[in-house]
Structure 1
């Protein structure tokens, strides 16, 4: 094995050089800068939070009348269903009346057709319906 010469041995010196002071100062300055930057960010977040809370309060004031909308919508839906039921009953009644009217008109048509056929049949046979005919003249 080879022996290590005194030049190659690691050594620790307790003397503080200018480089050491610059390194310590840089670390301290960087730490303080980070601390103050963090404090500024926290302050900015607090300001933002206060402004955000104010906006939320304004929105809550605007939205508060809307809270009863579900109740009012329920009432409107109930009244609309009642109106729909009444309209349905009226339409059903009108439809039933139209059916009866059609049936009555159909029976009147049938009666008129029967009467017309009867009159035509009598006039073709030459039956006297009790009225003087024009062709015979006065007697």
Structure 2
């Protein structure tokens, strides 16, 4: 699985738990504002990763998000709440945040997700799976004497 799949998994888990879409938009600027409102400050380096025209539409000259001006977008942004305020189960909140980490290198992998304490709490059988870290045979060769 790719890190974008894990991001999607985080959104799906949030939506299954709350019954509401986490990001109900098709507008890039609104989407970024919603991400910032629900997860925290966007990484400043994201402004430099956009193509120049797209960057000008989304970010100002000091790499801050441009304000939304559409009343519908503003209303959705105003209603958005941080994930930590919406999800009261601390383990579930930690799982979702791990899947929605802005840095894809730090985002949970599929394997890490299946070993997360929240998943193991409701699916303890995962510990019996042959690929669970504690169940893998020692593949190191026996040292020669």
Smaller-chain TM-score range? under 0.3
Larger of the two Rg values belongs to structure:
1
TM-score (norm 2): 0.17
Could you say which structure has the greater relative contact order, defined with CA pairs below 8 angstroms and 6 or more residues apart?
Answer: 2
TM normalised by structure 1 equals: 0.18
Structure with higher helix content: 1
